[in-house]
Chain A
Amino acid sequence: MCPQTVRNEAPSDDKRWKIINATMRRNGDDSHALIETLHSVQETFGYLDDVALSYVAKSLRTPLSRVYGVATFYHFFTLKPQGEHSCVVCTGTACHIKGAQALLSAIKGSFGVAPGETTADNKLSVISARCIGSCGLAPAVVIDGNVMGNLSPQTLVARVEREIG
């Protein structure tokens, strides 16, 4: 095996690549570290672009096809940049029973975006999630990290409008 791994040149001199390198090193610079590394990239850069995927593939000596296969298999990974604000609508069973669908329709009606989409002005990304642990407050939504419960379509739209200004 290579004694002292010569690290591949990072795609840019963005300091944040150091974080990615550290994750790979901590996990033995091995293909087993692929998912952990992709998590690290997404956490650091917000999404996984081609540049990052190629860099990870090279660094972990893993075929790009496999890196791409893993990145697309798991819903958590996103290959597109996300909007400035996020609205996560819980579509878990309890929230479904209590009207999550109406919340999604209201969002679609007011902002024109469905789960997985971002508005054209890049302000808002809508994401659906499954059970965020607040079933007692169903239907629940997370706006920019803040959980809100017992929402009606009207209050939700008003809240989102206020957030994105």
Chain B
Amino acid sequence: MPSDELVALKTKAEQRNRANRICVCTAASCQSVGADRVHKAFEAEVNKSQREEQVEVRAVGCMGLCSAGPLVRIENDETAVLYRNVTEQDASALAQSIGRAPVERLICPTDVPFFTRQHKIVLANCGQIHPERIEDYVAVGGYEALYRAITEMTPGEVLADVKASGLRGRGGAGYPTGLKWQTVAKSPDPVKYVVCNADEGDPGAFMDRSVLESDPHRVLEGMAIAAYAVGANLGYVYVRAEYPLAISRLRLAIRQAKAANLLGQNVAGTRFEFSVDIRLGAGAFVCGEETALLLSIEGRRGQPRPRPPYPAERGLFGRATLINNVETYANIATIVDRGGASYASIGTERSKGTKVFALAGQVKNTGLIEVPMGISLREIVEDMGGGVPAGGRIKAVQTGGPSGGCIPNEHLDMPVDYDSLQQVGSIMGSGGMIVMDESSNMVEVARYFMEFSMSESCGKCVPCRVGTYQMHQILSRMLSGCAGPGDLSMLEELTRAVGETSLCGLGQSAPNPIKSTLRYYRSEYEEALRKSRPSMPLAEEGVR
């Protein structure tokens, strides 16, 4: 029996339904090439021709192929046509094409690998629904999983589904989600918290941001289901302050869900209670680390502390705390909806489901994609991404950001899953995927990431604070031609020492970009050494 709340919202959505829709992507990338003006032009066009009753102009989230923005999709219940690089001037021709032949010159083909190889779960509604309307989310089945969980399932049954799904954390480390939930569920703590990590620190990635901006209710629903399963009544979303649109959409979504009785006390008339609050990050990468993040929510400096105890035992305000990534929560409703086993049928033996990647760099098609685990890296970057724009050769693919590594062309046929990526010296990470061509100097790439880790090190422990600085110094010396003969072995020694003795994941993984580039591109380091004349002073570097 469906809940009254959901039925009411569905009715509201149906009343707004028009035979035709003009969906304009107004997410970050399209916005920067004029999507807002395009959106307005369409509204004016529909208004002028007095077709508001037949045509809805809808602002939607990221449609994926950001490099072809602004993207517009004109659809009715039978067909949909995607248009690329749309300008305000095109609005009139496109609006008039409704019910007639599509405008050929602007068509963006969707029967190409970029679209056909995707498998959308997390991004299913991105670019489809209006992110600021809860009824749109409900109209496509939103909040039904939550309702079913709290009315028809025990917390144990929900937990069993998540375990059976094989879902692993999408924030980077890949810890089995079901196991984490179980630890929190078992805790006798009378007060528990559910926290969503939306700090998205990888400097080349925007997956979590897109999900929050394009489909915020999906994340809230996932958190609410998690709260039910582990026995929590209060949740926090920790979002970067640099994401103002994500923050305002999330705020609105929370208000709407509360008003619709899908959050708060007596959710959908049951005894389940769950409230969500937002906490803003303030530009510290290390706050993505879970123990630092929890301290930051408490209003303190976000400096990691040793684990154990893990947050699942002692977390926020000393209470048992479940902390998961945005994308992890975004998978939950689907898992409850279709059952854990169905989800587990996607992907590989040890990496289930799908993964969202932000594909960028020297590649023709850039944007946001969601692919089944186990797809080969080459399929992603060459077939879907279209390879290097000018037709050059891909030199490397970087995954995992500053904690990850560079995968060389000869390994591109490997499957994308947690274990295979680790074997080649990188990590799944949160989903940043940067393609590099022959113009990239790998020592320079290593220095870029080391500069990042150095400036983001919180300074709490010596190996990371001093070691990242020293590694950065050596790389800078190599690049400016003043490295000494001992520098390479010193660098290798430092990567080992910092990796093994740092307190948190930042320091432990900071050497990874160097390690992987040394492994595959050692000759570039040796070349830098050969060209070096140690007597040359290092430009612009003081002693710290």
Contacts and interface: CB of A to CB of B under 8 A. Distances in A.
Contact of B28 (A93, A134, A146): A134
Interface residues of A, number: 39
Q: Which of A36, A77, A133 counts the most B-chain CB atoms under 10 A from its CB? A: A133
B29 A133 contact: yes
Contacts of A147: 28, 31-32
Contacts of A30: 299
Interface residues of B, number: 46
Interface string A140-154: 100000111100000
Contacts of B67: 136-137
B32 A148 contact: yes
Interface stretch (A4-12, A14-22, A124-132): A124-132
Contacts of A140: 32
B205 A136 contact: no
A73 B458 CA distance: 8
Contact of B203 (A31, A93, A98, A136): A93
Interface in B228-243: 241-242
B39 to A, nearest CB: 16
A31 B280 CA distance: 15
B279 to A, nearest CB: 7
A77 B432 contact: no
B210 interface: yes
A81 to B, nearest CB: 18
Given A73-B301, A76-B282, A140-B32, A97 B361 contact: yes
A39 B360 contact: no
A35 B28 contact: no
Contacts of B297: 32
Contacts of A38: 282
Contacts of B206: 131, 133, 135
B203 A91 contact: yes
B372 interface: no
Interface string B356-368: 0010111000110
B283 A74 contact: yes
A113 to B, nearest CB: 16
A34 B299 contact: yes
B157 interface: no
A70 interface: yes
A69 interface: yes
A33 B358 CA distance: 34
Contacts of A135: 29, 66, 204, 206, 358, 360-361, 366
A57 interface: no
Given A76-B283, A77-B282, A77-B283, 14 more contacts: A30-B299, A35-B299, A36-B279, A73-B302, A74-B283, A76-B241, A92-B205, A97-B434, A98-B362, A129-B242, A131-B202, A133-B206, A136-B69, A147-B31
